Structures are given as structure tokens and as C-alpha cells.
Structure 1
Amino acid sequence: MAHLNIVLHEPEIPANTGNIGRTCVATGTRLHLIKPLGFDISDKAVKRAGLDYWPKLDVTVYESYEDFLEKNPGAKIYYATTKGPQTYVDVQYEEDCFIMFGKESAGIPEDILYDNQETAVRIPMINDIRSLNLSNSVAIVLYEALRQNNFDHMQLAGHLRTHEWR
């Protein structure tokens, strides 16, 4: 069974993290937050954006990037960045990989990206756009990783209340 992981490196905006948390709950994905955070994890805005899903979230908080690496030895990590040398569809996401996103104002530090060029990926955009919203970026890349893993453990068909699909 696929157990994907989303990592937010020093997230700053609670509503983005709340929205990402809700996406993680809906997909059975684990969320990892690397400090410093730009908000208190109990912040009402985080919980409001995640609605009633926040208590169902599998979330781990780390003191630093180094702490994250120490507690996840050997983890396959993809680094989502506007500076990536390849697109997010050019790689094969393993069923237990980690996909990291940087803080809203600056992204993932360039030293980390430079040391991990082979797993740095980007979402294609036109030249004059700085970046997409963080929660949108997470959804785009996460759903590609889920698609590659055949949406393992996910409900693939919806149901009507008053009719049956043909």
C-alpha cells in the first residue's frame, strides 16, 4: 500500500498548511512540518482551513531539516521547486517517498536544492509567474505521485444518492 509523505519546509501561512493537511487526510498521506513554522500549530486558521479533518491528520513536526533527515534515514525525497531542472512528471514516485515543498516567501534553500539536483522537480509555468500557491502545488504533485501508484487504497468511483451509474 502506498504511503506517500508531504514535507513542508518552514511553512509560513496557516491557511496553506491547513488546506494541505486536508488534502493529506483525503489521500491517506502523511504530513511532515519542519520548523520554524510561521504560526502556532494550534492556530485557529490552520484548523479552520483543515476544517474537521485536522484531528484525523497524521502529522509530525521536526525542529530542523537536519532533525527531519536524522529521523527519516534513507528516505527518498523529491524537492518541489520553481528552480528544478526537470518537471514533476519526469520522475517515478516510490510508494513511500517524501515530497518536500519550501516556505511561501522563499522556497527550499538553494544549498539543499544544489545537493539534491537529481530529485529536484518543478511544475511548468510561463516565465513571468513567480510561483503557484503552495497548497495548489502540493495537490498537483501529490496527485501525480498517487496516479503513478494507481491511487492505491483510494476510492476510485463516486456514488449518486438517487440513481445508479450505468
Structure 2
Amino acid sequence: MALVSLALFQPEIPANTGTLMRLSACLSVPVHVIGPTGFSMDDRALRRAGMDYRDKALTHVHVDFDAFCTANAWTAPRLILMTTRATMPYTDFSFQKSDMIVMGRETSGAPDWLHERADARLTIPMAESARSLNMAVSAALVIGEALRQTNDFPQTKPQTAELDQSGTGSHHP
């Protein structure tokens, strides 16, 4: 079964990558790290942000974009590039289960050749005075919408507590 996936193109900030590895573990979303990165995959900030979720993350590391394409050739996913240079809001896009959502570098985004290669270019609507969101926050917004549309959120855990009429809460086994 194909899953919505996330690709980080040459990420530069280890804390963002670690945060997205945690997102991968929590939401069962594969994350592809496309090098070269601006840090070592053993970086302390990466470990701190990913916490103990790093081992549970569905992480694939590729030395460069060609290696990423070779590794994913059998699935032929649509490349959905998130960029401030797009005009279509991600909320107006119809995601498919096999989509690969691509995030560019934190400082410079994606190069022109990657814009041309993308099957779709999407943006996040923001206030006029804003320039951009943090890359990890942006990815989480878009992954959430893609999972909602494709009905691929992981099963939720049963509730263990309910509020009683006083609002204090009562726990159930």
C-alpha cells in the first residue's frame, strides 16, 4: 500500500530534520532525507529534536537526488513541492496516497530544476507581512492535510479519561 511520504531536499537545520523524524514515527509517514545535508545524521541537535522517536521513524537517507530517484523509481510517486514561489494553496490540492511531499532547503528553498521536475507546486497561505514558516511546521501542516484527504492517519488510541459533570475528569481502565 502506498503512503504519503515526505522528502527533505538538502536540509540544513538538524533540529528540523529531527522534529520531522519524530513526526514520521508518530504518524507512520516515511521521511526521505536527500543529501548532502548541512549536518551529520549523528548531530546532537538532530538527536535532541528526534528524541527516542528516531529509531521508530521510517527514515531513508539518500546521498543525493539521483540516489533518491533510483530508490523510489519503482513507486513513481508524484513529487509535490512546497514553495513560497507557488500560487496554489495546499488546501486546494487533491492529494493521493502515493504523493511525495518535498520540502526545500530552509534558507534557499528548492532549486529551479527541482521546481521544473515537480508534478505540482503548492504554497501555504499566510498573512501578507509574513515571509515563511519554519520548515518543520510547514511540513506538519501539509502532511496533516494529505493524511486527512487520503484517510491515512494512524488509528487513534481509545480514550482513557472522560470529563465528569464537574469537569474534573474520571479515569476508566
Judge same fold: TM > 0.5, yes or no.
yes
The equivalent residue for 2:167 is: none
* Alignment match, 2:90: 88
How many equivalent residue pairs? 163
Q: CA deviation at 1:157?
A: 5.4
State the secondary structure of the residue aligned to 1:89.
helix
Deviation track 1:84-115 (CA, whole Å, cap 9, x = no partner) reads 13111122211122100011001111221134
Q: Is the contact between residue 27 and residue 153 of structure 2 (CA under 8 Å) also seen in structure 1?
A: no
In 1, Cα distance between the equivalents of 2:77 and 2:151?
A: 21
Alignment-derived partner of residue 149 in structure 2: 148
The range that moved more, 16-25 or 89-98, is: 89-98
Change (3 A) 1:55 1:156: closer
Residue 65 (structure 1) aligns with: 65
Detail structure 1 runs of 4+ shifted over 6 Å in the superposition. Answer: none
1:159 to 1:109, Cα distance in 2 relative to 1, 3 A:
farther
Q: Report if the CA contact (8 A) 2:90-2:122 is conserved.
A: yes
Name the residue aligned to 1:130: 131
- Which moved further from structure 2: 26-35 or 84-93? 84-93
User: Which residue is 2:100 aligned to?
Assistant: 98
Matched residues in 1 for 2:66 and 2:50: separation?
Answer: 28
* Identity across matched positions, percent: 33
| Greater mean alpha carbon deviation, residues 92-101 or residues 144-153 | 144-153
Cα-to-partner distance string for 1:10-40 (whole Å, 9 max, x where unaligned): 0001111111111111000011001111110
- Choose 123-132 or 11-20, whichever is displaced more: 123-132
TM-score with structure 2 setting the length = 0.86
Aligned alpha-carbon RMSD (Å): 1.8
